[in-house]
Structures are given as C-alpha cells and as structure tokens.
C-alpha cells in the first residue's frame, strides 16, 4: 500500500519557507516543513529565538505553534523524484539531531525554499584555515563562534558584505576593512534603490551606524591570502597600490548563487542565470511544485517573504489573498535587477588564480590542471574536479565564473552518506 | 552546559552552538588535511562545502550542522590525508 502523502512539504525553513508553510497551513493544508540546519530561520535568522520581537520572532513563533505544521530540523533532502499524484522526497536526518537514518516522504505539493549558497572564487591562499565565506563567518558567529577581538577583513562583492561586517562588529570583532569589487557608481545606485524600498532606509541607516569608522573600499580586488598553516594576512589591490593587512579571518564571498539542487532532481526548468523559473504564482514547470525565495533569484529577505506568501497562497488555493501581490512583486523585481547590475562581477577586479591555485578543494585540482578543457563534464571526468565531498557546490559556481562552464549533472544522493544508511530501507514519514 | 571532548580535550560549550563553533573557540581551526597534506578549515558555515568534517561519536559529519551535546567525542581528521 502506498503511504499517505502530505498535502504540502516545504523544503527550507528560511524566511521564504517559513512564510510559505504558515500561509499554506492557514489555507487548511497539513504541512511538513523541513530543513538541514539544526534550527529554523534560514541564513538570515539562524539562531533567532521564537521569543524575540519583530517579523522573525513572530513568524518563527507562529510556525512552531501552528497545529497544521510539523517542523523537522536537521533533515536534509538527498533525493527527489517527481510523480503524477505525489512527489517522493528522501531525507537524511542528521546524527545527534533526531533519529539518524533515511526517511521517505510523499507530497502532493512541494514548495522549494532552498535559498542560496555563496559564490567563492579561488586565489592563492584561499584554502588556508581562517579564509571563510563572508556569509559563512556570519553563520558561524550566529551559531556560537566567538569573534570578540578577532581581526577580520571582509571582501568580495554584494550588500551581504555590509550586513556581515556590521553583524561581526556587533559581536565584538575588529573589522579592518570592507573591500568591494564593484565601483562607486554601482554601490551608489544600489544604495538609492534600497532607500526607495519601504522600510529599507531605516535599516540602511542602522547598518551605516554599525559600520562607522570601518573603511569601505569600492573598486578593490583580493590578491592573495598568506600564512603557513593558518591565515596571517591578506593582500588587496586598490588602484595600482597593493596593501597587506594582518588578520585572523578573511571573510570573502562574491555574491550568492541559487541552490537549485533539489529543484534539478525534480526536473524544474531553470532560467538564464541558473535560478528556478517560476510564474506569477511561484509555480515551477513541474506540476505541483512551487518555489520561493532566493532559489528563484537573489533578492534579499523581503522578496523571499513575499514569494513565500504567494507560493503558500497558490499551493493552498487562497487566490483571493493575492490581490496586492503583483504590485509588490514588481517593486521587488526592480530592486533585484538593480542589485544584479550594481554588483555585477568585473573580471579585472576578481581574484586571479595562478596555475598553482587550487580550484577544487575536495580533490586538490589546480587552475593549471583545468586549462585546455572546454566544459565541465570533460574536466570532471579527466581531473575529478567537482567529484569530492561537496559535489561541486564550491567549485561549480567558481568554474562557471572563471571558465564559463555551467555546472551540470546534479545526482542523488546530494550529500555523501554512510554506506550503512544507503543500504537500509528508508522508513516512511506520514502525516500525523 | 554540555561538556564534550575535542581531540581528547574536555571543554564545555553553550547549548545551541555547533560542534564547529566549539572546535574553533578551542583554537582548533585546521580541521582536516587535503590530499596533498595541507591544513584545511571550515569555509561556508552552512553545510555546503563539507570542509568542516570531523568524526563525532564515530561518525563523519559536517560539524557546522551538528549541535553540541553532552558527552560527545569529537576528533579532527588531521591524521587522514587520503580519505575514502
Ligand atoms: C551563508 C549565508 C549567510 C547569510 N547571512 C545573511 C545575513 O546575515 N543577513 C542578510 O540580510 N542576509 C544574509 N544572507 C542572505 C539570505 O540568503 C537572504 O536574505 C534570505 O535568508 C533568503 O531567504 P530564503 O528563505 O530564500 O533562503 P535561506 O534563508 O537561505 O533558507 C534556505 C533554507 O533551505 C535549507 N535547505 C537548502 N537545501 C536543503 C536541502 N536539500 N534539504 C533541507 N534543507 C535545505 C537551508 O538549510 C536553509 O535553511 C545570507 C546568505 C548566506 C548564503
Ligand atoms: S563549513 Fe561548509 S559544510 Fe560546514
């Protein structure tokens, strides 16, 4: 007998997924909300408590207390298959979080809210401990890393650098500088677009106050990180001058990349920039599968919340609640376009790998080893680039930027698993 | 506060923090070695790079996704250069 399906399964408990789950449950659906992280909140609200003030606290509280929503944290989708009546998701529940093992879930509707990952670009020294993602260091500090007194250089591109610098400083880090590859005109255009969004100018002022005294350098390139066994300094280029800063952390990221791996397994078509393609109701090209938030394009928390709401309404048939949505979506879309243009990556300002620079960290594949290949598949087969533990999640976007190779070939399982778990028959997780 | 063992050293870490944070707060930032033998540390902080792998209670896990628990035994992979 086929197990009973959930009316809706939401993958990802960031702003988009939380909003989609609450909205779908308000529409009467029985919802399973699952996320690989130990607690709900996604990248921006990670570690935020349901008791706190503001939108994050309210949404976390509502979701935790709603009788129609089952929350499963520490649960990662590793396989997904689209079906006619119901879609099948396979989940691994992490050791130490809930009962470890594989579970299989049937879902009539799936809402993908898997967010984004950071784009890392290789340069000499980027494999040293202490060189971390910008959002990565923010995530680590939100999950308990003590950054008090640590000297941090924040570098790369995008507004996330500012949020990270302010967040780390608030936690007691000494932020030595923020180095942005985009030029001043781009940064200014973004600032003006953000100020026009409702509620954003107050947020921008608070951010600026949190960064008083921290140098912000536009037109600035990362050259190399140095150290023996651990990061000791970073060299940046401003104009024709190179300068070296001694630091404990280099927090570096070149924007965000939609995390479309579960969408790819379900067969959802992507758009030209590699985000999940959706219509005005957040429906993907696969029947019964919706997507919301940064998996559909990078646009920040407000866009994610709006899309989560639309997806939740659409999945539960509450079309009457969507009267204002197209207008709000248009405002968000314009903001997203400005964001993309303002922080477009400029080849001359990106870190330059040398032949010795490692590109694939898992398999130690160097820039020099990858010369001569014209596509991802050939390089992968010959050099093992992208075949290690991260399955191309780090070097895939890097190769896309460096060589123009679109990362392909997403396969289940999405993360390496112990053989014993793979051999075990998965248990079924049915609605209560 | 949970008490755990990091490479044989007993430490306490506030509930709700990750094993990765506990390791780094204890000054244990290189977590594994590359195939060529160089030190590697955590990169993404969100479960996507797998650079933060360590052995927790006998299982290799991503420590940035693993909350601290009382009695956990955590071992870094520094001795291992060629992993399966
Ligand atoms: C590392 C990082 C840190 C960031 N920090 C900030 C910040 O401090 N401030 C800020 O303004 N913006 C930050 N951002 C930007 C942030 O992505 C957005 O503003 C916002 O959180 C997007 O919401 P979302 O719901 O679309 O996705 P997210 O918040 O990214 O949520 C997606 C969720 O999906 C889960 N997920 C993905 N794949 C799977 C799977 N296979 N199985 C189970 N769960 C899965 C993830 O664990 C994640 O919790 C950060 C981004 C990143 C990548
Ligand atoms: S730091 Fe990247 S997976 Fe944990």
The ranges assigned to domains in chain A are 4-117+257-339, 120-253, 349-403
DSSP A24-37: HHHTT--EEEEESS
pLDDT of amino acid A96:
43
- The complex's ipTM? 0.96
Instruction: Give the three-class secondary structure for A408.
Output: coil
CATH number for B3-76 (one of 3.10.620.30, 3.10.20.30, 3.30.70.600, 3.40.50.300): it is 3.10.20.30
**Of residues A35, A67, A38, the one with CA closest to residue A432:** A67
Dist. CA A133–CA A121, nearest whole Å: 10
Q: How far apart are CA A231 and CA A197, in angstroms?
A: 39
Please say whether the beta carbons of A268 and A291 come within 8 A: yes
Residue A206: the pLDDT is 82
B65 close to B47: Cβ distance less than 8 angstroms = yes
Query: Do residues A296 and A258 touch, judged by C-beta distance below 8 A?
Result: yes
Residue among A118, A129, A390 minimizing CB distance to B29: A129
Closest by CA position to B19, among listed A221, B11, A72:
B11
What number does the ligand 1 atom closest to the CA of A18 have? 25
Residues of B in contact with A95 (CB under 8 A): 56-57, 59, 61, 66
Q: Which secondary structure element, helix H or strand E, spans residue B5, and what is its range?
A: strand B3-6
Pocket test for ligand 2, best of B30, B47, B76 (most atoms within 8 A of CB): B47
Give the distance from residue B11's alpha carbon to the nearest chain A alpha carbon, in angstroms: 14
Q: Please identify, in words, the CATH class of the domain defined by A120-253.
A: alpha beta
DSSP assignment letter at B43: -
pLDDT score for A48: 86
* Chain B residues with beta carbon closer than 8 angstroms to that of A129: 29-31, 39-42
A250, A131 in Cβ contact below 8 A?
A: yes
User: What are phi and psi for residue A293, nearest 5 degrees?
Assistant: 85, -155
Nearest to A19 by CA among A55, A43, A46, A48: A55
A65 within 8 A of A351, measured Cβ to Cβ: no
Segment 21-80 of chain B within 8 Å of chain A by CB: 21-22, 24-25, 29-31, 34-36, 38-51, 53, 56-57, 59-61, 64-69, 72
Q: Do domains A4-117+257-339 and A120-253 have the same CATH topology?
A: yes
B43 touches A126 (CB < 8 A): no
Closest by CA position to A43, among listed A129, A108, A140, A127: A140
- Which pLDDT score, from 0 to 100, does residue A47 have? 84
Class of domain A4-117+257-339: alpha beta
Short-list A321, A275, A317, A268, CA closest to A290: A268
Q: Which residues of A touch B48 (CB under 8 A)?
A: 117, 259, 390, 393-394
If you count DSSP H runs as helices and E runs as strands, how many of each does chain B have, helices first? 1, 7
Query: By C-alpha distance, which of A357, A356, A345, A362 is closest to A400?
Result: A345
DSSP string, A32-85: EEEESSSSSSHHHHTT--TTSSHHHHHHHHHHHH-TTEEEEESEEEEEEE--SS
| pTM reported for the whole predicted model | 0.96
**Residue carrying the six token digits 């399906």:** A5
Q: Nearest residue on chain B to A364, judged by CA atoms?
A: B35
> The tokens 């050939």 sit on which residue?
A378
The pLDDT value recorded for residue A99 is: 53
- Helices then strands, counting H and E runs in chain A, come out as 14, 20
Asked if the model's pLDDT at residue B84 lies above 60, the reply is no
Residues of B in contact with A418 (CB under 8 A): 59-60
Show the CA angle centred on residue A150, arms to residues A147 and A156, nearest 5°.
90
Pick the closest to residue A264 from A250, A249, A284 (CA basis): A284
Q: Which residues contact B17 (CB under 8 A, 6 or more apart)?
A: A143, A144, B67, B68
- Which of B17, B41, B68 is the closest to A129 by Cβ? B41
Dihedral of CA atoms A45, A48, A49, A54 in degrees, nearest 10, equals: -60
DSSP A311: H
At residue A24, the pLDDT reads 98
Can you give the residue ranges of every domain in chain B?
3-76
pLDDT in single tens digits along all 432 residues of chain A: 678 999 999 999 999 999 999 999 999 999 999 999 999 999 999 988 888 888 899 999 999 999 999 999 999 999 999 998 999 999 998 654 445 688 999 999 999 999 999 999 999 999 999 999 999 999 999 999 999 999 999 999 999 999 999 999 999 999 999 999 999 999 999 988 888 877 777 778 888 888 989 999 999 999 999 999 999 999 999 999 999 999 999 999 999 999 999 999 999 999 999 999 999 999 999 999 999 999 999 999 999 999 999 999 999 999 999 988 888 888 888 999 999 999 999 999 999 999 999 999 999 999 999 988 999 999 999 999 999 999 999 999 999 999 999 887 799 999 888 777 777 788 899 999
DSSP B17: -
Query: Residues A284-324: pLDDT tens digits?
Result: 999 999 999 999 999 999 999 999 999 999 999 999 999 88
Q: A223: which 2 tokens? A: 């050259």
More confident residue, A101 or B19: B19
């Amino acid at each position: 007998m086929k197990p009973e399906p959930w009316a809706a399964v939401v993958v990802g408990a960031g702003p988009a997924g939380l909003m989609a789950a609450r909205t779908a449950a308000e529409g009467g659906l029985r919802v399973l909300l699952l996320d690989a992280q130990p607690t709900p909140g996604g990248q921006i609200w990670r570690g935020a408590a349901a008791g706190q003030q503001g939108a994050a606290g309210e949404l976390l509280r509502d979701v935790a207390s709603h009788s129609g929503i089952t929350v499963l944290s520490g649960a990662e989708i590793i396989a997904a298959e689209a079906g006619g009546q119901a879609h099948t998701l396979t989940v691994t529940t992490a050791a130490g979080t809930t009962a470890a093992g594989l579970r299989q879930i049937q879902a009539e509707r799936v809402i993908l809210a898997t967010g984004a990952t950071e784009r890392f670009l290789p340069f000499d020294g980027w494999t040293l401990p202490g060189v971390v993602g910008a959002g990565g260091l923010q995530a680590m500090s939100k999950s308990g890393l003590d950054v008090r007194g640590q000297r941090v250089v924040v570098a790369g591109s995008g507004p996330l650098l500012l949020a990270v610098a302010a967040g780390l400083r608030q936690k007691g880090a000494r932020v030595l500088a923020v180095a942005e590859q985009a030029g001043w005109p781009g940064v200014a255009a973004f600032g003006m677009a953000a100020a026009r969004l409702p509620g954003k100018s107050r947020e921008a002022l608070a951010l600026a106050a949190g960064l008083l005294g921290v140098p912000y350098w536009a037109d600035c390139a990362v050259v190399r990180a140095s150290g023996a066994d651990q990061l000791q300094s970073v060299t940046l280029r401003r104009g024709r001058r190179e300068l070296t800063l001694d630091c404990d952390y280099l927090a570096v990221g070149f924007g965000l990349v939609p995390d479309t791996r579960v969408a790819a397994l379900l067969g959802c078509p992507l758009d030209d920039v590699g985000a999940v393609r959706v219509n005005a109701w957040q429906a993907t090209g696969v029947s019964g599968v919706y997507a919301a938030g940064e998996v559909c394009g990078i646009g920040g928390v407000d866009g994610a919340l709006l899309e989560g709401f639309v997806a939740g309404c659409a999945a539960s048939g509450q079309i009457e609640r969507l009267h204002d949505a197209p207008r709000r979506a248009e405002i968000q879309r314009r903001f997203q376009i400005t964001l993309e243009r303002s922080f477009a990556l400029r080849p001359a300002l990106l870190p330059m790998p040398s032949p010795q620079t490692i590109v694939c960290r898992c398999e130690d594949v160097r820039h020099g080893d990858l010369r001569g290949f014209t596509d991802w598949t050939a390089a992968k087969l010959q050099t093992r680039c992208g075949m290690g533990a991260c399955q191309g999640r780090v070097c895939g976007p890097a190769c896309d930027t460096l060589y123009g190779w679109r990362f392909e070939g997403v396969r289940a399982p999405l993360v390496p698993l112990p053989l014993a778990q793979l051999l075990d028959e998965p248990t079924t997780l049915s609605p209560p | 506060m949970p008490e755990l063992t990091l490479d044989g050293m007993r430490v306490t870490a506030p509930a709700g923090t990750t094993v990765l944070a506990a390791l780094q707060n204890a000054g244990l930032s290189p977590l594994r070695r590359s195939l060529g033998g160089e030190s590697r540390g955590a990169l993404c902080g969100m479960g996507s790079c797998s650079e933060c792998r360590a052995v927790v209670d006998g299982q290799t896990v991503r420590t940035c996704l693993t909350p601290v628990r009382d009695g956990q035994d955590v071992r870094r992979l520094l001795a291992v250069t060629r992993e399966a």
